């Protein structure tokens, strides 16, 4: 993990980011060819339009994704952060290349169950997109449009993407005359969005803990000694009693949570404990990156 952090924050930062963006493109390309396209499922955004043209006219989806993204990138250069545009161009190019490179998988690997293809296609594509997003990039298309809309019209990025994707999938259902495909596509898109969020936030979830105890000093010392985690004392006051006391605040890994509870119970069986999920932590003692 330390090596990865040094790469990301050091002179090899862009090399690392480009490598990860390429990996995301590979995973998405495999997902489309193994799970999505064999069942003529669709996708959101530009890739969805590319798949429609592929199913109807036999066009190469990779070439269509690249061609359709050209005007979007030309427009986005004026309005979006240059680094984001540059990295997104790499992400879009990687995706458009690898979706064609892995086209042989459509005939070599075939999962007969459509629902399984929706689920696993969504998972693999979500991981690929999540890796790309974690490295300050996108795979082009409506992601750039959504950023521009957010900047100038203050519309939520997720809402804009959802609206555009709904229009594309609805249009595809009419053109292809297949409502079932559209419904399966929505399942795949939902799974991909959930996995994307998880990858962006990181699977290495931390827990933030607040402890109210009459023995706060002893509890704090034991946490420092036995868990080697920092402790912060917050000033608290009971609304009913008006009594002043210190509230213990600390962040632990999920594996340390049970041990923390044990420490508190040993010292003060009446202590009040609240636990919240924390998806991002940076600073001494914690990695800045989740990948």
Question: How confident is the model over 215-258, as pLDDT tens digits?
Answer: 999 999 999 999 888 899 999 888 878 888 889 999 998 778 88
Residue with the bigger pLDDT between 64 and 144: it is 64
Quote the pLDDT of residue 283.
Answer: 63
C-alpha–C-alpha distance, residues 139 and 153, integer Å? 22
Of 29-38, 68-77, 149-158, the range with the highest mean pLDDT is 29-38
Quote the pLDDT of residue 279.
Answer: 67
Tell whether the model's pLDDT for residue 290 goes beyond 50.
Answer: no
Tell whether the model's pLDDT for residue 51 goes beyond 70.
Answer: yes
Instruction: Quickly count: other Cβ atoms within 10 Å of residue 140's Cβ.
Output: 28
**pTM listed for this prediction:** 0.74
Categorize the per-residue pLDDT at 133 as very low, low, confident or very high, splitting at 50, 70 and 90: confident
Domain span(s) for CATH 3.30.70.120 in the chain: 206-278
C-alpha 229: how far from chain center: 27
Compute the average pLDDT of residues 26-40.
95
- Among 115-124, 214-223, 274-283, the minimum mean pLDDT is found in 274-283
Categorize the per-residue pLDDT at 63 as very low, low, confident or very high, splitting at 50, 70 and 90: very high
Third-level CATH fold of 206-278:
Alpha-Beta Plaits (3.30.70)
């Amino acid at each position: 993990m330390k090596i990865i952090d040094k790469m990301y924050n050091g002179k090899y930062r862009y090399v690392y980011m480009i490598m990860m963006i390429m990996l995301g493109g590979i995973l998405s390309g495999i997902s489309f060819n193994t799970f999505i396209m064999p069942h003529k499922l669709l996708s959101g955004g530009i890739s969805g339009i590319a798949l429609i043209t592929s199913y109807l006219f036999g066009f190469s989806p990779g070439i269509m994704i690249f061609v359709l993204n050209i005007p979007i990138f030309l427009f986005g250069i004026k309005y979006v952060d240059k680094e984001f545009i540059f990295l997104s161009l790499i992400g879009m190019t990687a995706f458009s290349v690898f979706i064609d490179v892995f086209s042989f998988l459509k005939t070599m690997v075939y999962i007969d169950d459509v629902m399984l293809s929706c689920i696993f296609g969504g998972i693999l594509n979500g991981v690929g997109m999540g890796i790309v997003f974690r490295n300050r990039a996108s795979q082009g298309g409506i992601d750039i449009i959504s950023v521009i809309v957010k900047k100038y019209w203050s519309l939520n990025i997720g809402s804009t993407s959802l609206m555009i994707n709904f229009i594309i999938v609805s249009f595809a259902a009419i053109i292809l005359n297949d409502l079932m495909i559209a419904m399966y596509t929505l399942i795949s898109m939902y799974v991909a969005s959930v996995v994307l969020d998880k990858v962006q936030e990181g699977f290495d979830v931390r827990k933030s803990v607040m402890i109210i105890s009459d023995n706060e000093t002893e509890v704090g010392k034991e946490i420092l000694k036995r868990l080697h985690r920092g402790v912060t004392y917050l000033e608290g006051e009971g609304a009913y009693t008006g009594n002043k006391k210190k509230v213990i605040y600390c962040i632990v890994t999920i594996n340390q949570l049970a041990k923390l509870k044990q420490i508190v119970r040993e010292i003060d069986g009446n202590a009040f404990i609240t636990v919240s999920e924390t998806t991002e932590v940076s600073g001494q003692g914690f990695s800045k990156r989740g990948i």
